[in-house]
Structure 1
């Protein structure tokens, strides 16, 4: 019998917790990162890009939920691709997910530093970013229920703050401001506008990036077959409303081009309306940090579960699959992702490419990982529908095969266009996969000695049986 302190996660999360994780993972995307899309496409061009990406994410989540409820595994996309395509497919999806979830936190940590620097000009944003890693890795180590409850609390505060932002800037909003030179710096649509629409894709993806990370908490959720669909669907609808509301209101308060290359577009937009000395602005800086913290904290939870699941299945060193016997959290997995993230924060010379800011390139790298994972997940859904028609599916993708086909097609389109506009960053992304392939080639013994996992093997062990077993544990 295996050692339960090593492999069994604690099933203690409610549906409300999971909604908080799903929204919290993403909500920092409403606070920063997306405004770089204006630099590429203008406000109107980026609006078109965001509509396309919102369609991709909405159809993806409705389809992805089928996989999450049928295979409620801490590995999430890794487990779905493993089940559909075998060990190599699982490795590719797991590595793509790691790139997404390990590279997103340093971008968010730098934004936390930038927000704090607005209030405390003498504070080094990079040191503040490292401090954020130390604090929130510690909170994740303390226990999943504590971490998820904190995530829910700050996510609610972040949502309230975005609504407050929209209300405070609304007196200064003008549609004429929003549409001025809205097609990539021009008043009229042209071939350059079309190019900008595609070039802005990674920044529209940032609005929704990482919502799928809630799947990695399914193994720690009570009754996932019922709570996961509700949490995911409510989560994507919440985020779509907030994304469009935030972007449109910020773009209409003045000259949007002054916000296109900053890490803190919301405080800067509010400053245009209420002035630099307004109490509203200081409130936004302080409370607005909760949006960044919600995503930062949640993504640490997500990458740690992905590292844990890969190690448990023999794709990473087994030490990363050991849980703390008291808190039932993967401490070494949490720390490992933090080391990579902190290294990225101080790797300006490596990551500053093509004249773009450090944050923009980290966002792009994370988006590459996300898109590859989305493509593999949708391919796994189609494959499992054929190879395992009898698999218990508590939630079936609506309008199958239309919804997953739309998600797959738009993800492929986004990936191709991102490669075209970000060839050097994609080269670095591929280099990470080459390193991973070398590790995979020489570590077959780890997979041979890993304990069996019925959800990966594709036996008759279904979601209901997993839930009963985990509750009994």
Structure 2
């Protein structure tokens, strides 16, 4: 037998993603992406509605994301595939919805990654002074994006082990700051009774609370990213619900502590303006040690978030390539590191381009817009999932309680958030919706002809109810 014949008859080895992650990695991915929102971004809600509005939004948006976490935990533990909500949409709603959801995910995480790189450069520039020129600024942004992309290229286990450590350190810094300012003794360092008064708690009334929904999303944006690594989790039925819900509890506690400390140290006019609320809180304590700790923690939180965003965006893009929604070139898995390396590399110049032309507020807004579009889909998705495959018809890894209440709450809060975004960024909201409509038309009339329709559905489920 010739060498050519032997080689032709040899079976082709399929390289796939590795199942090596546990609940701690899921927690690190979710909290790591989100924690930077407690270091900056959430405080812009105070500018819209006052200090008390920022607290109200902390818990109301916390309810929105608790609904997201509960819904995600049920569907993703059942559809445990890379791409998370994209894989859910593909099996439950249909290909066009799946394509749009994947775009929502890629843009939400890429713009969040961009926001983090800008925040790191801004923070360093604020400390470096006038000697920190434009080239230094751009160099920091480029270094952050390229180095973290290289880390993701080398493997998901290494990436999330690093994320676990730096996320834990950044979260511990918030706890240390909280106890350092003696929260049990108002007036010693904290002055909540002076900063939150009947006159300034809600300076614009309840319409200010509605407007604050826009920035309130930043408290928790990205926790749903835990589902992007579903195909690399050892036990999705256990790890995804535990890791995601533990992440939400962690973030709710951290957000409440953050609000309490910052609102007690800064008037709402300044709190709603600064890019560094926790770093400024460290400065206002008068302790150089606390100030330096919060400076380092701000950098670490932004690094953890950018690191997780690269992981999630690449897996959504990889999933599109694997199903031929995009060229299959993007679906390549590295033979050694077992990562979607081409998708990781492809998104690097896109992130760099946005980071060099957008400011922090614009980047955050584009990320929030894509995120809210995605959450709207999730409320519809879980309704369809329960209707098509009722409890008992298929095996679920986890069943979330109180259905359909979480879906109804999620949809209602998303509608309010759209209105809040329209009040401040109506042009951007319109532009994003038009962009997604154009991409939908492109997919429907051009790209879908390349999809192998039978291959895209991989779950061994029975026919849905009513079909």
Task: Compute the TM-score of the two structures, normalised by the length of structure 2.
Answer: 0.89
Which residue of structure 2 lines up, in the alignment, with residue 64 of structure 1?
Answer: 72
**Whole-Å separation in 1 of the counterparts to 2:273 and 2:355:** 18
List gaps (5 residues or longer) in structure 2. 1-10, 183-187
Deviation at 1:452, TM superposition (A): 4.1
| One of 44, 53, 76 as aligned partner of 1:36 | 44
Which residue of structure 2 lines up, in the alignment, with residue 375 of structure 1?
Answer: 376
Which residues in structure 2 correspond to 1:371-450 (within 5 Å)?
Answer: 371-389=372-390, 390-440=393-443, 441-448=445-452
Deviation at 1:102, TM superposition (A): 1.5
Task: Say whether 1:223 aligns with 2:235.
Answer: yes
Deviation at 1:188, TM superposition (A): 6.8
**Whole-Å separation in 1 of the counterparts to 2:403 and 2:201:** 38
Which residue of structure 1 lines up, in the alignment, with residue 191 of structure 2?
Answer: 174
Deviation at 1:62, TM superposition (A): 1.4
Deviation at 1:382, TM superposition (A): 0.8
**Whole-Å separation in 1 of the counterparts to 2:461 and 2:53:** 48
Deviations 1:184-226 (A, max 9, x none): xx53757x32222122212111110010011011110001111
Deviation at 1:450, TM superposition (A): 8.6
Work out whether residues 304 and 330 of structure 1, in 8 Å CA contact, stay in contact via their aligned partners in 2: yes
Deviations 1:129-183 (A, max 9, x none): 22100110010001111111111111111111111222334452111243147xx
Which residues in structure 2 correspond to 1:228-243 (within 5 Å)?
Answer: 228-243=240-255
Work out whether residues 30 and 244 of structure 2, in 8 Å CA contact, stay in contact via their aligned partners in 1: yes
Which residue of structure 1 lines up, in the alignment, with residue 174 of structure 2?
Answer: 162
Which residue of structure 2 lines up, in the alignment, with residue 193 of structure 1?
Answer: 205
Inter-CA distance 435–177: structure 2 relative to 1 (3 Å threshold)? farther
Inter-CA distance 240–386: structure 2 relative to 1 (3 Å threshold)? same
Task: Say whether 1:133 aligns with 2:145.
Answer: yes
**Whole-Å separation in 2 of the counterparts to 1:452 and 1:175:** 55
Q: Equivalent residue of 1:146, what SS?
A: helix
Inter-CA distance 226–164: structure 2 relative to 1 (3 Å threshold)? same
**Whole-Å separation in 2 of the counterparts to 1:321 and 1:14:** 24
Larger mean CA deviation between 223-232 and 250-259 belongs to 250-259
Inter-CA distance 302–450: structure 2 relative to 1 (3 Å threshold)? farther
**Whole-Å separation in 1 of the counterparts to 2:206 and 2:108:** 27
Inter-CA distance 336–165: structure 2 relative to 1 (3 Å threshold)? farther
Task: Say whether 1:10 aligns with 2:11.
Answer: no
Work out whether residues 90 and 98 of structure 2, in 8 Å CA contact, stay in contact via their aligned partners in 1: yes
- In the alignment of these two chains, the number of paired residues is 441
Task: Compute the TM-score of the two structures, normalised by the length of structure 1.
Answer: 0.88
Larger of the two Rg values belongs to structure? 2
Inter-CA distance 311–195: structure 2 relative to 1 (3 Å threshold)? same
Deviation at 1:287, TM superposition (A): 3.3
Q: Equivalent residue of 1:4, what SS?
A: coil
Work out whether residues 312 and 318 of structure 1, in 8 Å CA contact, stay in contact via their aligned partners in 2: yes
Which residue of structure 2 lines up, in the alignment, with residue 95 of structure 1?
Answer: 103
Deviation at 1:406, TM superposition (A): 1.4
List gaps (5 residues or longer) in structure 1. 349-357, 462-473
Task: Say whether 1:329 aligns with 2:333.
Answer: no
Deviation at 1:451, TM superposition (A): 4.4
Q: Equivalent residue of 1:141, what SS?
A: helix
